Structure 1
Amino acid sequence: MTMSKGMVSGRPVTPGRQIAVVIPARNEVDRLPRCLAALAAADGALQRSGAAGIATRVVVVLDRSTDGSRELLADWPAVEVVESDHGRVGAARAAGVRHVLRGNQNAPRWIACTDADSAVPADWLITQLTHAAAGVDLLLGLVAPDPAELDRRLLRTWRSVHLLEDGHPHIHGANLGISADMYRRVGGFRDVALHEDVLLVTAVRSIGGRVVSTASSPVLTSARMLGRTPAGMAGYLDDLSRAARARHPGVRGSATRAWLRALFAADVPGR
């Protein structure tokens, strides 16, 4: 199925010739259009590539949404909508994955995750499937705070305390992919309010799964300071802003960056 706004044309899909994208959303009516438009562009790039014929299934999990998100999604008939009343991001992601894995006959073999306040780059699905084809069990990508929403000085600070290259240590639910087989083996996302992504990675690593961290296809994400999860990206950016303003007494330059790296590596796993 080709994903686009408005009418969508479908075609038969060979079992397993799918990639599923799961997106939890709570009251994101203002940000969902950008998220879905970016995924539509990524699906278009996928269809033009050598992977043409692989269908993209997009599932939005409306988790206690009370805004107009459901009405908005009516304009995107290719998007599958799952209702959730859990109020926890781990449970919401799990509900979306459970939806796409129901019935093994035509279930996707790879599940990609992003967030409703984020926008994937055009080559994102291609990057996901390239690693899937190489036998990767779990793919960890990077995110980039939206520079339109972030003070330039804070953006420089954010970049200075993150390793933005292959092999990075970061874990972001907004840019993550996992094979369906591995997801089942480790029991999927935990029913938790935060760090569901970190717990999934820990479980995969604990059984010797092949985990790859890539700098390719970073996802643009919201730089708001007030988010849906206290310990999520918004809370992290707020803490980073406070720390950067306060700074450690007597610490400057590269020492400041080293101190911030140590501080946030300890306080926010994988961020």
Structure 2
Amino acid sequence: MRPRDETADRPALEGVLVVVPARDEQDVVGDCLSGLDEAAAVVSAEGLPVVVCVVRHRCTDGTGDLVDGFVEGAEARASTGWVVADSDAETLGEARAEGVLSALVHPVLGSLDPATVWVACTDADSRVPSTWLAVQRELADSGLDLVLGAVEPVDDGSAAVGFWRAHHSVEGHRGLHAASLGTRLSAYHQAGGFPATDVGEDAQLVHAIRHGAGLPWTSTHLAPVVTSSRRCGRRWRGRQQHGLATFLHRLDTALGTFGGSPELQGRLREEVLRLAKGRGAEKTLCPSEAAGAVDPSRRQELTHLARAVACTLADEGLVEVTQQGVVVDGRRAVGPVRVRLVPPPPG
């Protein structure tokens, strides 16, 4: 993997493709599309054409009709290109990949060199800020092939969301979120595109770009995307949203049990870093080990809080959260995770 922020000789962008899958999101999809419309307008005004592809993924509610109505109005008042695709794909990764292919049929993008096309990705339960694409464009034009953005949940007044929002990402964070990432189309192709999986399709694509292809990348806390903080829903059990919903539910429980004591959080933080530094970047630790080091008698109950602390350390760029050697978003990942020190740059 190339060092973070190392750049290469890359052409300036000539087009942007935004893909957003939408499945049963009738309550929030309008807000999502409004945010994308505003972000696209910013870079379109500077001469960079944008095509937004909304993938209606096996919808059973009014999402599809709302998308159609919004796109009809957006096309009438702006220069942004809009594509609506219907997908019966079994997995979210396939739906995202179909969105990329559908957008590339648009005449604005069809004839461009893949090295000059930027693929930005978000989710239908999220709202991007107006500067979202402008920030990615600036970084891409500096010679990067991948940009990892930051995400924060809607403030619902809960302890779990308060904990998350109290810890902000920085430049150099090690977080990874499908709701805010972008890559050059040439890098996307080189990495094989989004894999056919429901959970971690973003992590696998990023891993293939950074480690498999060894392409230059960066992360940024600028222009954070606001995403849903719902705990559970009637859809997608065991899938991506269930991972984040479960994380927040368990964090609510842990904070309800132990409280939001800065002292306890500080002790968990110290133990995660101590164990990670002791093992180096080649070995990993389980958050439960840090929990056990703080209070052996309540190791199990403290484990989820230790996992949350590890995620905040990833936001600070100090550790990476992984599953089977692949860096993941520890808040969305389903199942156990591991933590490791950030590897030093090669050479």
Aligned letter for 1:93? R
For 1:184 and 1:96, locate their aligned partners in 2 and report how far apart those are by CA, in whole Å. 14
Q: 1:3-22 residue pairs with structure 2 within 5 A?
A: 17-22=14-19
Q: Percent identity?
A: 35
Task: Give the corresponding residue for 1:192.
Answer: 197
Judged with a 3 Å threshold, the aligned counterparts in structure 2 of structure 1 residues 98 and 150 are, in CA distance, closer, same or farther, namely farther
What pairs with 1:171-190 in structure 2 (closer than 5 Å)? 171-190=176-195
Q: What CA deviation, in whole Å up to 9, does each residue of 1:8-45 have, x standing for no partner?
A: xxxxxxxx732111001100111111011111221232
1:261 to 306, 309, 334: 309
2:203 partner letter: V
In the alignment, which residue of structure 2 is the partner of 1:252? 264
Query: Which residue of the partner structure matches residue 32 of structure 1?
Result: 29
Cα distance in structure 2, aligned partners of 1:132 and 1:80: 24
Worse overlay, 16-25 or 235-244: 235-244
Counterpart amino acid of 1:261? Answer: V
Question: Where does residue 168 of structure 1 map in the other structure?
Answer: 173
Corresponding position of 2:246:
235
How high is the TM-score relative to the length of structure 1? Answer: 0.83
* 1:247 Cα deviation after fit: 4.3
Closer, same or farther in 2 for the Cα pair 1:243/1:266, shift >3 Å?
A: farther
| Structure 2: gaps spanning 5 or more residues | 1-12, 76-81, 271-305, 313-320, 331-347
Q: Please point out which of 124, 142, 149 is paired with 1:141.
A: 149
| CA distance in structure 2 between the partners assigned to 1:220 and 1:263 by the alignment | 17
Deviation at 1:62, TM superposition (A): 1.1
Q: Secondary structure at the match of 1:82?
A: strand
**Aligned 1:35-184 pairs, distance under 5 A:** 35-48=32-45, 52-75=46-69, 76-77=71-72, 78=75, 79-102=82-105, 104-106=110-112, 109-147=117-155, 149-151=156-158, 153-159=159-165, 164-184=169-189
Which protein shows a greater Rg?
2
Give 1:210's aligned residue.
216
Q: Deviation of residue 263 (structure 1)?
A: 7.8
Q: Decide which structure has greater helix share.
A: 2
Q: Which runs of 5+ in 1 are unaligned?
A: 1-15
Aligned partners of 1:120 and 1:218 also within 8 Å: yes
Q: Secondary structure at the match of 1:112?
A: strand
SS of 1:74's partner is helix
1:38-95 Cα distance to aligned partner (Å, 9 max, x none): 11221232244xxx12121111111110111221122213431111112421111111
How far apart are the structure 1 equivalents of 2:110 and 2:38?
Answer: 28
Q: CA deviation at 1:246?
A: 3.6
Confirm or deny: 8 A CA contact 2:52 2:103 kept in the other structure: no
SS at match of 1:168: coil
CA distance in 1, matches of 2:254, 2:87: 35
C-alpha distance in 2 between matches for 1:31 and 1:159:
21
| Alpha-carbon distance in structure 2 between the residues aligned to 1:263 and 1:176 | 18
Q: Distance in 2 between matches of 1:123 and 1:60?
A: 20
